[in-house]
Structure 1
């Protein structure tokens, strides 16, 4: 019988705790369409799960859209989006993500709740962009932006609004 001590035990405990430790309020869906002409580009879609998460994201997204329309940037943890020359861009922002790496929107939700929600979003957005850089494809953050990446393309990335008009 193997002994579970040291790093193995810590890692096993961490993996077992993840489903309960994280709210899992965001979903990253990876899909690819197959046509008679062959496989299409990968599509990575980030969307909130559950009614409360959807309501929270709807409120945040409306605030972020208003900030972008007004010419301000929106910080989403490891990534930042803003308009430059009338075009939406997404670029790296915070290398060590923490609560200060996000644009503030005054909402009637608890700050700790907002921080957890946004930290999860940032982690999944970072994962989606890393995968899309590796495979090429489309990344969609519902209600905020859509961008297309060629395999291996470096940031910043041109994007288009998704679900709203500037």
Structure 2
């Protein structure tokens, strides 16, 4: 039964990523090119509204000293510094911090699975090229080419 569920989730993952958008940009100046910037944000209005509600709860969790699980990644404060580290090698709905929202669990499941998939992709690209990755409203992390986790992060769009 577990293998069937994993196979179904694996087949559905590409569709979930469509709820999220990954933007990649690089500045070109007279001195040459600058570091790559990767920005992960919801792709449509419904996703932005859901993310705004979730991210407020995530910020409160972090301020209170709790961790926020984002699928294969975990975000938390340690020694006053925000850290992003690997979390769940086999991503499933139990790997997420769910918001207390008036939204069906299946909707949050799909939304967060899509986030996890695109966050993995964005971190892989940023590790290859180096640069900054921002998850809209939650954190920003700067990676050097080939850098291994855990990563030091900074709050993005909020103060601890």
Taking structure 2 as the reference length, the TM-score comes to 0.90
Within-5 A mapping of 1:43-58: 43-58=37-52
The two structures, once aligned, show a CA RMSD in angstroms of 1.5
> RCO greater where, 1 or 2, for CA within 8 Å and sep 6 or more?
2
| 1:64 is the counterpart of 2:58 | yes
**1: CA distance, partners of 2:17 / 2:28:** 33
Within-5 A mapping of 1:57-96: 57-96=51-90
Alignment match, 1:143 = 137
| Equivalent position SS for 1:133 | helix
Q: Give structure 1 stretches of 5+ with no counterpart.
A: 1-13
Within-5 A mapping of 1:154-165: 154-165=148-159
Shift of 1:50: 1.4
Q: Give structure 2 stretches of 5+ with no counterpart.
A: 1-10
Taking structure 1 as the reference length, the TM-score comes to 0.87
Within-5 A mapping of 1:1-166: 21-22=15-16, 24-166=18-160
Rg comparison, structure with higher value: 1
**How many equivalent residue pairs?**
150
Distance change (3 Å), C-alpha of 1:100 and 1:123: same
